[in-house]
Each structure stands twice: as C-alpha cells, then as structure tokens.
Amino acid sequence: MIDVMTIELDQPRLERLSPSRAGDFKTCPQLFKFRAIDRIPEPTSIYQARGTTAHLALQRLFDRPATERTPDVLFDLFREAWTEVRGDEEFAELFDDVESERQWGLESMELLANYFSIEDPAQIEPMDRELDMLEDLDGITIRGILDRIDRDDDGKLIITDYKTGKAPPERFALPAFFALKIYALLIRRNTGETPKEVRLLYLNGPTMYRLAIDDRQLDAMDSQLRALWAAIERAMRTENYPTRPGRLCDWCSYQNICPAFTDEEPNAADS
Ligand code: SF4
C-alpha cells in the first residue's frame, strides 16, 4: 500500500510505502507508477483468489488447538474462507462455470496439502499472524502485513511468508527476500530485537527458502530503503519513472500501455 497526498502547487508527496511497492520500484519504476501512483486496477486472476484464500486458511489454522491442525481441517478452512472471499466484487465473476471453480478448488487443496510436507503446524505456536505493521523510520513510514512471526526453540524470532506462486530456482531466490528483510528491519525497530531468520514458504514446490539475518544486513537494508525512498520522491517530483524491460514483463498486467512496449517512450532511459 502506498498513500500519496497532494500538497501545495500540486506537488505529490509520499506518505507511506509498503514492502511490496518498494519492491516494485526497485524492479521497475514504471510498474510502481502504474500500481501505486496511477492505481490502475489489474485483472483479478484465479491465482490471486487462491493466494488470498489460502492465506486466510493458514492464518486460521493456528486458531485451532495443535492436535486439530490437520490437512482435513485446513481444507475445511479453505472452503469456509472461499465462501467469504468469493462474495467480494473482485472475485465474484472469476469462473465461467461451476466445473471450472470445482477444478480450481481441487488444485488448491493439492497445494495446501503440500504445506504439511514443509512444516508441522502442531509444533508451532505463532507469536503473531497477519501482523499489521506501521513503522516510522525517521520520516519514512512503512506499512505492511506480515504473515507470521514465531520464536524458535532457542527463543529467537523467525519471520515467515507464505507463497502460493511457484518457487523460483534457488539461485534466483535471493531477491524474493527483499520484502522480508524490510519486515525484519521493522521488527528490530519495533522490538529492539534482531530476528534470527526469514523464511519463504512456497506451497507450490513445495519448498522453504531460509535466510539468516544479522544486524549488518539490516543496517544495509535501512540505507537501501532510505535511498529507495529518495529515488521514489525524485521520480514523483520529476514525473520520470524509467521502464526496466525484463523477464517480469511477460507477467506484467500493464504491458499493453507500458512505454517500453508502445511508441511513446518518454522515460525510456533506465536509471
Ligand atoms: S511491462 Fe515491463 S517495463 Fe513495462 S511496466 Fe511492466 S515490468 Fe515495467
């Protein structure tokens, strides 16, 4: 989420930034503009519907006693969550017919079953789930929702993010930790405690990628975030959002209006 406020002389000013939108700017400033400044809606996909519903089900799994955290209970929670989610306007007309929705549900259950091969929820007592974080880093307000935070057997903090998309090959996994490192920084800021590890838990793999965290990394992230914030403010001031064509373009919802793919190329120079 990002909030943009108009002040005197129509000069836009950045109010808040989420780790996801920070990642967008880092990947492609033009993508950031489409999403966060212009707020052009993206078509809703069955994958987003699955992600939203699976997150709800996994969150609620930990409301149950440890002995009830079974695949069947998780499947029931998914069905219940979908009954709620499908009522939202954005998901209302996602499926052409009942059969395609049923097929989607079956594939979703297969994905959720994978969860139990990655970790045993009966052994975990989360400190927090869906933690809504709002932190001020000396003038930079960061807002985001953290999937789960636990303590390991040694009492150290572990941050976990669920992913329903396909796991990248391990050699390409590092950039995927960008948002989690921001969350680790916020946790340190908020509690004074440095998390020991961040984890990306990919149901579609299934696999878990882990990254050990230390103060040096978080200090570097702090500097990186400040530099990114300054770059975003500069882009907003000059209205210059360079395109960064790459592999992501194949999945970008805005390709048909992106200057990199049309004849207009006002911001073509990469920064
Ligand atoms: S199509 Fe590619 S270059 Fe254009 S906004 Fe999307 S990611 Fe950026």
Domains and CATH numbers, the chain: 3-35+226-261 (no CATH), 46-123 (no CATH), 128-222 (3.90.320.10)
pLDDT in tens, 231-245: 999 999 999 999 999
How remote is the CA of residue 253 from the centroid of ligand 1, in Å? Answer: 8
Using 50, 70 and 90 to split pLDDT, how confident is the model at 204?
Answer: very high
CA dist 161 and 141 (Å) reads 21
pLDDT in tens, 43-81: 899 999 999 999 999 999 999 999 999 999 999 999 999
Ligand 1 binding pocket mutation candidate from 244, 262, 265, 270 (most atoms within 8 A of CB) = 244
Structure tokens at 145: 């929702």
CB-based burial label for 120 (10 Å; 0-12, 13-18, 19+): exposed
Using 50, 70 and 90 to split pLDDT, how confident is the model at 247?
Answer: confident
Q: From the CB of 252, is ligand 1 less than 6 Å away?
A: yes
Q: From the CB of 260, is ligand 1 less than 6 Å away?
A: yes
| Mean pLDDT for the stretch of residues 193-212 | 96
| Position with higher pLDDT, 6 vs 21 | 21
pTM (2 d.p.): 0.87
Determine which helix (DSSP H) or strand (DSSP E) holds 212, and give its type and residue range.
strand 207-212
Q: From the CB of 25, is ligand 1 less than 6 Å away?
A: no
What percentage of the chain carries pLDDT values higher than 70?
Answer: 92
> Which residues contact residue 72 at a Cβ distance below 8 angstroms, ignoring those fewer than 6 apart?
none
Q: From the CB of 255, is ligand 1 less than 6 Å away?
A: yes
Is the pLDDT confidence value at 252 over 90?
yes
Is the pLDDT confidence value at 106 over 90?
yes
Whole-number pLDDT of residue 172: 83
Whole-number pLDDT of residue 139: 80
Structure tokens at 63: 């409301």
Helix H segments across the chain? Answer: 19-27, 29-32, 46-61, 71-85, 98-118, 178-191, 215-238
How remote is the CA of residue 266 from the centroid of ligand 1, in Å? Answer: 14
Is the pLDDT confidence value at 3 over 80?
no
| Mean pLDDT for the stretch of residues 177-206 | 95
> Which residues contact residue 70 at a Cβ distance below 8 angstroms, ignoring those fewer than 6 apart?
none
Is the pLDDT confidence value at 11 over 80?
no
How remote is the CA of residue 245 from the centroid of ligand 1, in Å? Answer: 6
